[in-house]
Each structure stands twice: as C-alpha cells, then as structure tokens.
Structure 1
C-alpha cells in the first residue's frame, strides 16, 4: 500500500497536521507514527497549559500570526469537543524601572498584534491580585488555560474518525526518499507514501538526518522545572502571573499558573538538559549531551548566555534562589510552598551561529517536510500550524 501521507510524531503538532490533511483532502490515506506507548507524552503533556495570545512576538512574524489564530482556534476546538477551558487572563508584572520600560514596549507590541490589553498601575494591580506586588502591570484578558493533552487526544479521535491511522509504540528507524515515493521503516516493516511530514519535537534533527537531510541546527534540551503550591495555596492568585521577559532570551521566566484542574504551578525555569527525554533531574544521556557538546553553535550560545545559564543552574540546585524569582512579584510565597511537580523539556533549535531559533523552522525536500523548531506557543498554535503545513504539502 502507498499512503498519501505519513506523519511522524504523535504530539499536538503532528496530530493537528494529520487532521488538517484529512480535512483539506477528504478520503486521503494518512498514518501517524508515535514511538511512545501513548500520544502527547512529551512537550504536549509537559507544559503549563496556557492558551497564549501572542503579546510577546514580533508583529507580522509567523509566530505572532499563528499564535493569534491559534488562540481563537483552540478555544473553538474546545467548545466543539466539550473540552473545559477558562479565560482567566494574564498579568505581566514589572518590579523594576527597566521592566516598566520593557512593559511599555510590550504594550506597543500587543497593540501592533491586535491584542487587547489594559495597563495597570501598582494600586490597581494590588486590587486585582492582593498577593502580587509591582510597580506596574499589563492585563491580557483573553489568555486562557486548558489541558493540551486532552486537546491532542480529541484531535487523535478526529483523525481516526476521518479514516486516518495512528500507530503508537512504532519508532521510525529509517527513511528513504525516492523519485515517486518516500519510505519509512518501523519494526522491520516498510511504509510507503507520496509525502512525509515529521513533527518530531525533541528528535527533530535526528529524524531529519534519518531522511537524508543534514540539519543546520541542533536540538538542545532545556529542562523547565516546576513546583506546585499546596492545596491551601490554590487561591493565592486568580490570573496567570508572569514577570516581564528579557527580550534577548527565548524563555518567559518563572510564572504562577492556575491550571484547569484547580492547582497552581510555579515555573518553569530554563536549565540545560542532560537528556532529551529525561524528566528526572538526575537523568543523563551520553548521546544527547554528546550531540550538543560537539556542535559549535552550542558553545557560541553558551558563551553569549553564560551568566544567565549559571544563574538558572544555581536556582535549580538551590530552591531559595528559585523562590527569590517568584518573590519579586509575590512576596508572600514561602519555601515550604514549593512542592514537587513534574518537569518539562523544551526542544530548542540552535543554529551554527549560536543563535537560538525564536520562530518556527521548516526544512523540506521533494517528498519530505520537517518541522525543525516548534517553540512556545506551539501548543496554542497547533491548529493553524497544522493548516499551514497541510496547505504547503498539498500545494
């Protein structure tokens, strides 16, 4: 059998892509391959569950456009599939003069992106969130929360209902592109298709190389370590509370996030990971570390961000340092409030120049399309990302 499309990766981006291929070409034969025992177990299932609006991103960038479309599409998908979500709003809090200036720039960027915001002074900020303190704030009312794994599983059911196949516990071990078909091997079996789409996340560069394409980047894992407030702290805040981000870094800083199931998480930080899929702090992979240690771009990135990296590593080891990041805007937090919570791992593409990729990165050949970098807010943007990929593959 020759499929129309093979999709590698059973996270939310891969599942959205498969669904959009079936919607845009009804009757197409589509097969999704996921190496894990279940779907959406890596980046999709290890995030803070925020439906972003796109206030941070360069106006007109692909990232900004996809996030704006994704925020609306995610909410509509949730409504049509009875998936609970809430629009609780985001408060970006400035605690220094520099952050107040950056907050003003953020407001300008939000306006350019067509996002409604409300600037707040310190008094109004305290009225909205009595446990939060700052010089100023920016309220983004449309920001929401959801369980993205639940969204991904609903997409999987839609794929199956539309005639698509989903294979879990099926790791792709080889890819060969011919003039008429592309073949992927899994478990000793060959799967042939007219086109292949790889949404491999933490393994994106390896799958790309498997397909005969040499990546000009390397996937570097960054552990996002979270804590969770105890049950008696579940009413500490009612909005998502974010610090003002450093525009030179691809991370948004440690934030307080109410979740759809009624908890509040604290995090994440951004610590260089020692394994691509090792969620425990002590997990170490020689292969994964060797991959980025041999990559010249990683050393250039490390030199440019040495001070930040050391600070994040220290805060990972010393919980009081992590707490200090939160107490800048929520001084009532105590050390005992930071309870254990599972970490996440972010797949960050870094170029040979040492520059981290902030936007989506696509690499193609005649019969293959690889999503090389799908940064936050990829979960929010998954539906328009899938539409964009499907349109490109079908063109």
Structure 2
C-alpha cells in the first residue's frame, strides 16, 4: 500500500524532476504526473535554447542564484549518468559601447558574488582568443556555461519516475483542483471521477496561474506570454561562433537580449527577442487565442507594464517583423554574420509572471499551503535549476 498519493500537474522538465525527487526520497509514495499534451516537454522545455546557465545574472542570495548553481552541477551529473549530450562550450558576455561599462562592471560583481566558476574579464585582444570572430571593448568569459537537450533530459527523468513505480499520464488536462475534508480532488477533462491525492504540486508553466487559481483563487502573479523568435545561421557561417556570445543585459528586464547560441545538434541560432504573444502556446505570429488575449487585457499589471516599457515593446515588434532590424544589434558582436547569413528558425514562449503593479517577477516564486505546492514563476534558469528546484520543493513539503 502506498505511503501517500502525490499528483504533479505539468509534464515539463520541472514537474517531472519534482516527481522523480519524490520517488527517490520517499520510497513507497505513489506519484502520478498529469500532462495535458500528448508528449512531455511540449512547451517551454521543448522550445528552450538548451543553455545551462552558470549564474552570471542573478541577484546574490536569491533563489535563482542559489538553485542555478546547485542545479547546474546536478544536471551535469545527470547527463553523464544517462549519456545525454552536455557541452561546456562557454559563453562571452560582451560590452560593445562605452556607455555599457557601468552595467558591465555591475554584472561582473554579481557573477563574482555568485562564484561563477572560471569567470574571467577579457580585454579586446583576449576576446578574439576565445571567439576569433567576436568584437567588443570587454567581455566576461564563463567557460562552464553549457548546452544540452532539455527534452531528452525530461524523457530520462520520466524514465526514472516510471522505473520507481510512478506513473506519467499524457493527455490529462486538469480542469479542477480542490481541497476536500481529507486530501485533494483533481478532475481531469473527460474522466468520470476526480483523482484523489494527499498532496499536489502544480508546475504548469504557461498555465501556472490558472491551475494554481483553481485551488486557492489567487491569480497573482499572472502569466503573460512572451514569444521569443530565433534566426538560424547558415551552415557556411556556423563555425564563426564556437560557443555563445551575449550582450550586456538591461537590468530592467529579465530577458537577456538577442545573442548567438550554439545547439548540441551543431546548429547556431541568433535570438531570442521578446514579443508579447497573442496566445500562451502560440509559436507563430498568427496564433491567437481570444481567452489568452482577454486575460492579458484584464490584468491590471499588463497596462502598468505597457505604460512603463512601451518603447522597448515597439522595438521588439520591429525586430520580429524585420530580419534586418533583428540582426542590426547582433551583428555588432559578430560582424561577419549578417542578414544574408540567417533564416527564420524556431520560437518559444516564455511564461513571464507579472504582479498587479506591473512589475516583472524576477525570482522563482513557489508557494505552499494545505497540501498544495504551486510553482508560480520559474523562468530561465528554471531548466538549469530543475533538479535543485525539485530538491527545494521536496525539502519544504516534507521537512
């Protein structure tokens, strides 16, 4: 007889990692992962760039900083154990304008405080030693920043769950979640009876606010979907970038700016931008959902965000519509790759949590109450941190 029944809503890397942590730490617990799509890692996980972050950007002492550092080490070990591609190809964060110096110096202090392994500050001639075709006034080199295949990792995590006696149910869309006198009832679309659990973990990504609100009525923070589009670099120019080349980010935003990213497949991408999407799971500009649009317009934080940052939003839209505009900034870092060398590639949608006051939620946000744990915000480096987030959740659910 199972010690407890635990339901996990969401079949992305985070939900499956939490399920695996439960079955590993609490043998005998019956764990069921509920995923509404017909496959795991269907949305954010499967559309990510595959970057394994080293902790350069995150406020020291934050959950992001702590769990990213721990998660990267755990992820590297997991990939080695399961023969999953993991390439520590390294990353440069490059300053190209003198007016970036202040932000660049602040970023170096943050990365140093976070003990990013192997971090070095490079002069212009040293930049070319690492990335011969990159240009800049100064750069931070993070040799341990890596790339991997997060969909493959999710499948391997699910394999561990099933091997330990857990269950993964696909096509299981949760439409109701409520507390009862004893335990919790989770209603799956089309099922005649609700599933009964002692504990439930919600890790629903792009639907995190909606599923969480089923049990506690709390909508804040709301999820706003931001589509990130990529351009692929032609085969003739792919080898001009050995690893990754990033700009110095704007600290007002959680997005890292358009950058060059190598994939474990050998391809080289430029992107992503960050355009407010008209559908939470819409990967094309023509994808529109009336419900999703209505929710964006009804959320007071959306209007406050728009008033504060509309100019940046317009610039992102222009870059989305014009490859020339998209590449204008990227080519400053690698001048030999221009608009003639790229083509439209894939895209992803980021679940960006926004508070009522219009502020972009930067840190991970995880709540616990009466048997339900809700992961309300876990954007990048959520995938990098997934195994550490799983341990963090289980530590707090079963202290």
1:1-395 equivalent positions in 2, closer than 5 A: 4-115=5-116, 116-186=118-188, 187-188=190-191, 189-395=193-399
Pairwise CA distance, 1:334: 2.0
- Shift, 1:105, TM fit: 1.5
Query: Any conservation in 2 of the 1:100–1:135 contact (CA below 8 Å)?
Result: no
The offset of 1:98, in angstroms, is: 2.2
Shift of 1:17: 0.3
Judged with a 3 Å threshold, the aligned counterparts in structure 2 of structure 1 residues 157 and 330 are, in CA distance, closer, same or farther, namely same
Tell me, in whole angstroms, the C-alpha distance in 1 between the residues paired with 2:97 and 2:181: 59
Deviation at 1:332, TM superposition (A): 1.4
- Gaps in structure 2 of 5+ consecutive residues: none
Which deviates more, 230-239 or 276-285? 230-239
**Range that drifts further, 140-149 or 110-119:** 110-119
The farther-off stretch of 248-257 and 114-123 is: 114-123
Deviation at 1:126, TM superposition (A): 2.1
Cα offset for 1:336? 2.3
> For residues 396 and 182 of structure 2, what CA distance do their matches in structure 1 show?
18
Q: Deviations over 1:249-279 (max 9, x none)?
A: 1100011011111000110000001000011
Deviation readout 1:294-326 (Å, 9 max, x if unpaired): 111110011111111111011111211101020
Matched residue of 2:302: which SS?
helix
TM-score scaled by length of structure 2 = 0.97
Distance (whole Å) between structure 1 residues aligned to residue 335 and residue 361 of structure 2: 34
SS state at 1:111 partner: helix
RMSD: 1.2
List structure 1 segments (4+ residues) > 2 angstroms apart after TM superposition: none
TM-score by length of 1: 0.98
**CA–CA distance in 2 between the matches of 1:322 and 1:241?**
15
Work out the CA distance in 2 between the residues paired with 1:318 and 1:198.
38
Cα distance in 2 between the residues matched to 1:178 and 1:190: 12
Aligned residue pairs, count:
395
Instruction: Give unmatched runs, 5+ long, in structure 1.
Output: none
**Bigger Cα displacement from structure 2, 329-338 vs 60-69:** 329-338
